[in-house]
Amino acid sequence: MTSTDHPFGRTTTTLDELHGCVDVTDAKRVLNSIGVAKPDKAVEGFLDQMPTLLAWLDEHGRDYPWRRASDPWQIYASEILLQRTRSDAVADIYPEFFAQFPSARCLLEADEEDLRSIVHPLGFVNHRVRTLREAAELCAEVQDEVPADLEALQQPWRVGPYTARACLLFAFDQPMALVDTNTARIVGRVFDYPLPEQPHKSTRVQRLLDALAPDNPALARAFNLALLDLGALVCTSENPNCPACPLAEGCEYAQTGDV
């Protein structure tokens, strides 16, 4: 049983519970190391807003079919389909894709032209077909099972830490943080964190988000989905909608920025 009983995981918590499962000390240490002002206040302020963030997810989160999936192959393959692609486009082909390729073995045995035709609307067809076939080969090696291993999951061509971590989090209930440009942008604004050029590749940003992610599978799932959806719907790159944001009270950008 995974935390997919609810597509968002668990969206209710208390400050007391969060203090028991968030690595507040390490989050403060990371912020301190890059010279963020008052890291203690910043982390406590973020923690204060986390129950509101999860409640926001419950009301506004996007209910995609892969968020209801519990089968590791469906989750792993979905994350590959989502690479550099709009979620709505993946949702459009999702039913047909998994009707045709319900397992890694089915994908390997299928005619490659069928695979190409189904993923065609997503673009990057050569890239995607190669990655999906290598992922299916990886799973077929171990009797059609997706390996629950961060390194192994990254063996297929162009599968990086984000996809591997998403698979571990959503398919195997391993609490951890997902860092992409959206989630990095949120922490950059909330903490007035001077983000590096490629924040999604920064080990320090990863460490900060790992420290903030609750060490509890259902809460970690909700935490990550909340940040992903907040980055897509509210804290957008151009026009963040701070008045509608559940993090506004603890957000440095909202408190000091021109919003």
Active site residues: 79, 162, 180
| Nearest distance from C-beta of residue 82 to ligand SF4, angstroms | 22
Give the chain's radius of gyration (CA, Å): 19
Please, which residue, 80 or 251, has the CB nearer to ligand SF4? 251
- How far apart are CB 107 and ligand SF4 at their closest, in Å? 39
> Exposed, middle or buried by CB within 10 Å (0-12, 13-18, 19+), for 113?
exposed
Residue closer to ligand SF4, measured from CB, 77 or 187: 187
The torsion defined by the Cα of 244, 249, 254 and 259, in degrees rounded to 10, comes to: 40
Nearer to ligand SF4, 25 or 237 (CB): 237
Residues in touch with ligand SF4 (CB under 6 A): 186, 189-190, 234-235, 240-242, 245, 247-248, 251, 253-254
Which residue, 218 or 251, is less far from ligand SF4 as judged by CB? 251
Residues 139 and 84: their CA atoms lie apart, in Å, by 23
Judge contact between 79 and 156, C-beta under 8 A: no
Nearer to ligand SF4, 61 or 240 (CB): 240
Exposed, middle or buried: residue 126 (CB in 10 Å: 0-12, 13-18, 19+)? exposed
118 touches 96 (CB < 8 A): yes
Least distance (Å) from ligand SF4 to the CB of residue 231?
8
Give long-range contacts, CB 8 A cutoff, 24+ apart: 94-102.
Answer: 94/64, 94/65, 94/66, 95/65, 98/74, 101/77, 101/136, 102/73
Query: Nearest distance from residue 235's CB to ligand SF4, in Å?
Result: 3
Q: What is the spatial distance between Cα 212 and Cα 24, in angstroms, rounded to a whole number?
A: 7
Dihedral angle computed from the Cα positions of residues 249, 250, 256 and 258, in that order, rounded to the nearest 10 degrees:
-60
Minimum distance from residue 190 beta carbon to ligand SF4 (Å):
5
